Amino acid sequence: MKRVAASEYDLLTIARAIVGQVPVDLVEPLLRQSRQQPSRCGPTSLELVKQTLSRGVVLQLARRGGAFRDRYLIAGEAVEGRVWQRYSELPLHFSTRSMRLLRWLTFDPVGEKTRSLGRNRPTLGDQILLYLTADLLERAGLGRVIGQQSGFEQPLVWLGFADWLYGETPPKIRAGDFRPLLEQPAILECLQPDFSRRWLEMERTKRHFREPAQLTQFGQSQEAVLSAYLDAIDGEGRRDLAFFLMDATSRLFDVEPDQRHWVGGLDPHTSLQARSQARRAAGAMVSAINRLAVWHREHQATRFFDDEYPAAQLLLSQWENLGELRLARARELVRQLESLATAVEA
């Protein structure tokens, strides 16, 4: 049996919780406590951390979507199978940023102190670990920390946790920021179910916003993230990676929309202008569906002998999950929100 110091054992326990090997309730006390930080970790604990991350992160990706038998585009062709059948390998490297992240979680009381995670560009492994850490913090009731600790503002985390990262100004995120993820698209494919669940949850929390300014900031951040992401996947010929958006919208509009579920919680005593801006911003995710509808018309027009025909058929099958009825309901919601905003301004 390998032996490590007590502080190293706590760090390993948190690492295992991040990758789903330890229940959240067992590590919540560790996340909230403060303890003396050793100058360095021993070689045994470092090797165990490396094993935990390299194996655990891949297993998490499989559990969150990679183990499903799905179809995605590879080199313009629809390829069916589980992620390990579609890709021969998923190379992941964890830099010193990941170790700094684990040391911050272990030795500083989370939510009371922030720590620099380093200036080096995060690897894909670092980004996935940040994403899984954000998920752990939210489930531990510490979601607010995601927006307080610098370093979480990465494209992958923005895709899953825009509700915790938004601020006074929209994020300066560009299509090019998603390029590293699109070079290893298996990650985005595995997380499609996660993204769908998270964006559905984000929409359902909007009814609880009281301050119009906060809802406006949230919606503008959603718009910035989705705009950059859709630009990125369109440019790389990977429109299939917008499936999570169609899936979340489909679930959201199983019934007729009611604008009160988006803006019903706004304080009526705030200014009319502020509430008008908030109403428009509240429909950010739903408005993005209009861009997917334009793509859908392009796919319908693709002919059998066109090179894009196999890809178009896959994308048309994805659209069936949304359908024209739910699209009409989504557009009706946007109409309600904008008509209310127009009425307020008038």
Quick one: CA dihedral 44, 45, 46, 52, positive or negative? positive
Closest Cα partner for 236 from 62, 19, 75? 75
Work out the burial of residue 276: count CB atoms within 10 Å of its CB; fewer than 13 is exposed, 13-18 middle, 19 or more buried: buried
Strand 70-74 to 77-81 pairing: antiparallel
Angle at 156 between CA 151 and CA 160, to 5 degrees: 105
What is the number of alpha carbons within 13 Å of residue 202 lying toward its C-beta?
Answer: 30
Q: How many whole angstroms separate alpha carbon 202 and alpha carbon 323?
A: 22
pLDDT in single tens digits along all 346 residues of the chain = 577 788 889 999 999 999 999 999 999 999 988 877 776 777 888 899 999 999 999 999 999 999 999 999 999 999 999 999 999 888 899 999 999 999 999 988 887 777 788 878 899 999 999 999 999 999 999 999 999 888 999 999 999 999 999 988 889 999 999 999 999 999 999 999 999 999 999 999 999 999 999 999 999 999 999 999 999 999 999 999 999 999 999 999 998 889 999 999 999 999 999 999 999 999 999 999 999 999 999 999 999 888 889 899 999 999 998 999 999 999 999 999 988 655 555 4
Predicted pLDDT of residue 241: 98
Identify the pLDDT of residue 346: 47
| CA 307 from centroid of its chain's CA atoms | 32
Q: For the chain, what are the domain ranges? A: 1-152, 154-346
**What distance in Å separates the CA atoms of residue 217 and residue 206, rounded to the nearest whole number?**
12
Angstrom CA distances, 305 to 239, 263, 295, 310, 318, stand at 20, 47, 19, 10, 21
